[in-house]
């Protein structure tokens, strides 16, 4: 079976105030809208930008309420029109564990104070964690904490704790929950990706943790069954992509698309344990079929100009069958301590447009006759 050739398309004809390039931001989708918040480059951004994919227009909604400080590498989930922001870097070397809610119907921010879990502490300040909506709950996993008081002197601690946040609880105050888990949880990590997937009939809600960073880039895949709260490392077929972190993983249909991130620099011929200090950004796209648990090869158009450049720390959202990505950084120039962020917006059409219906075909052929 020949898979359809996937094609990236760059959107160049946007109107409205384009947000400034950055990395470490996040995006969620509400219908045709892509909502972008936070991230930074030479300064953490506290503006909210919205892109309308049907009109190709950026706009900055007038927000009110308890407007949160800008943050980067935080957790961002969207439940209906309710958007939640958790944690992230708020200042150089200073991480947060605050939870904010944005009601997108009114563009109103609210600071939430969820209760501590029974028999445990609330999640510690962190960045690079994942915060994923699955069913009625937000799942918070992993990230990086700073054990140092001095923001300039970082003592990193990688996390692998799992908290859940019930979003449709009967009480007005949300509360963190430390679920009883079964099995061995994934090793500590940050800047991994988490994607939720439920089968079409609503059965078997699952959370997939892929990749991340724990001193070296990771390429392992973990699955949490949300019904039994059991961690398993599923058997995966196919050719896995390179280990990575700061990538994006987006579920469209029954496939999880992994794009970009930092990958170890490997020599093609020697498969020695590479010196894990050499990394580069990538623009490769991988697709994991979540039904068959297979990394599927993708037929891509591979002209230089028709692909987004290699990047990390970008944002990706699924809108209908399209995967949208915006901004991100292009790598790290060792010599000059700085990086460049992209201003470009791309989308990937993941499925063929629906085939014409029988009526259309009949009409077309009668016209021809």
Among the listed residues 225, 233, 172, the one whose alpha carbon sits nearest the alpha carbon of residue 197: 225
Question: 326: which 2 tokens?
Answer: 């915006």
- Contact pick of 29, 34, 45, 209 for another protein (by CB under 8 A): 45
Q: How many other CB atoms are there within 10 angstroms of residue 119's CB atom?
A: 6
Listed ranges 35-43, 228-236, 283-291, 359-367: which one lies at the site for another protein (CB under 8 A) = 35-43
358 binds another protein (CB under 8 A): no
191 binds another protein (CB under 8 A): yes
57 binds another protein (CB under 8 A): no
334 binds another protein (CB under 8 A): yes
Q: How far is the CB of 109 from another protein (least distance, A)?
A: 18
Size of the site for another protein (CB under 8 A): 53
Listed ranges 22-30, 117-125, 165-173, 356-364: which one lies at the site for another protein (CB under 8 A) = 22-30
Cα–Cα dist 255/236, whole Å: 13
70 binds another protein (CB under 8 A): yes
338 binds another protein (CB under 8 A): yes
Among the listed residues 72, 112, 110, 113, the one whose alpha carbon sits nearest the alpha carbon of residue 91: 72
Bridge partner list, 96: 88, 126
125 binds another protein (CB under 8 A): no
Listed ranges 85-93, 105-113, 130-138, 315-323: which one lies at the site for another protein (CB under 8 A) = 85-93
Q: What is the DSSP letter of 215?
A: S
At 306 the three-state DSSP class reads helix
Listed ranges 1-9, 21-29, 134-142, 163-171: which one lies at the site for another protein (CB under 8 A) = 21-29
Beta carbon nearer to another protein, 145 or 249: 145
Is the CB of residue 263 less than 8 Å from the CB of residue 211?
no
Burial class (CB in 10 A: 0-12, 13-18, 19+), 67: middle
Beta carbon nearer to another protein, 180 or 337: 337
Q: How far is the CB of 277 from another protein (least distance, A)?
A: 7
Q: How far is the CB of 279 from another protein (least distance, A)?
A: 9
339 binds another protein (CB under 8 A): yes
Q: How far is the CB of 340 from another protein (least distance, A)?
A: 5
Q: How many other CB atoms are there within 10 angstroms of residue 229's CB atom?
A: 14
The radius of gyration of the chain's CA atoms, rounded to the nearest angstrom, is: 21
Beta carbon nearer to another protein, 28 or 73: 73
90 binds another protein (CB under 8 A): yes
Cα–Cα dist 113/123, whole Å: 12
- Contact pick of 44, 133, 263, 288 for another protein (by CB under 8 A): 44
Burial class (CB in 10 A: 0-12, 13-18, 19+), 54: exposed
Cα–Cα dist 203/28, whole Å: 24
Cα–Cα dist 240/234, whole Å: 13
Q: How far is the CB of 365 from another protein (least distance, A)?
A: 41
How many residues would you count in the chain? 369
Listed ranges 1-9, 29-37, 317-325, 331-339: which one lies at the site for another protein (CB under 8 A) = 331-339
Among the listed residues 124, 209, 200, the one whose alpha carbon sits nearest the alpha carbon of residue 158: 124
- Per CB under 8 A, residues contacting another protein are 12-15, 18, 20-24, 39-46, 70, 72-73, 89-94, 127-128, 144, 152-154, 156, 191, 213, 215, 245-246, 262, 277, 332-340, 342-344
């Amino acid at each position: 079976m020949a898979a359809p050739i996937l094609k990236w398309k760059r959107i160049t004809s946007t109107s409205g105030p384009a947000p400034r390039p950055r990395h470490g931001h996040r995006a969620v989708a509400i219908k045709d809208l892509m909502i972008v918040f936070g991230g930074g480059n030479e300064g953490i951004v506290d503006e909210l930008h919205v892109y309308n994919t049907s009109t190709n227009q950026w706009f900055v909604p007038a927000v009110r309420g308890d407007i949160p400080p800008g943050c980067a590498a935080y957790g961002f989930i969207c439940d209906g029109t309710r958007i939640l922001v958790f944690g992230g870097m708020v200042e150089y070397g200073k991480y947060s564990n605050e939870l904010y809610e944005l009601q997108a119907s009114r563009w109103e921010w609210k600071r939430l104070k969820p209760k501590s879990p029974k028999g445990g502490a609330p999640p510690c300040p962190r960045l690079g964690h994942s915060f994923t909506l699955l069913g009625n709950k937000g799942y918070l996993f992993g990230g990086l904490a700073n054990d140092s008081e001095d923001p300039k002197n970082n003592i990193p601690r990688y996390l692998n704790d799992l908290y859940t946040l019930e979003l449709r609880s009967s009480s007005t105050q949300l509360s963190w929950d430390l679920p009883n888990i079964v099995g061995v949880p994934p090793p500590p990590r940050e800047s991994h990706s988490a994607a939720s997937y439920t089968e079409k009939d609503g059965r078997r809600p699952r959370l997939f943790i892929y990749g991340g960073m724990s001193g070296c880039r990771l390429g392992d895949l973990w699955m949490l069954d949300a019904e039994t709260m059991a961690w398993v490392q599923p058997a995966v077929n196919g050719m896995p992509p390179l280990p990575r972190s700061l990538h994006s993983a987006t579920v469209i249909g029954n496939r999880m698309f992994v794009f970009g991130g930092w990958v170890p620099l490997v020599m093609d011929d020697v498969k020695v344990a590479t010196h894990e200090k050499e990394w580069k950004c990538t623009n490769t796209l991988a697709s994991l079929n979540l039904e068959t648990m297979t990394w599927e090869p993708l037929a891509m158009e591979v002209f230089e100009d028709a692909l987004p450049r290699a990047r990390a720390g970008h944002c990706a959202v699924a809108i209908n069958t399209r995967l949208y990505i915006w901004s991100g950084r292009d790598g790290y120039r060792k010599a000059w301590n700085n990086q460049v962020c992209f201003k470009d917006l791309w989308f990937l059409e993941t499925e063929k447009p629906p085939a014409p219906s029988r009526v259309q075909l009949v009409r077309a052929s009668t016209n021809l006759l």
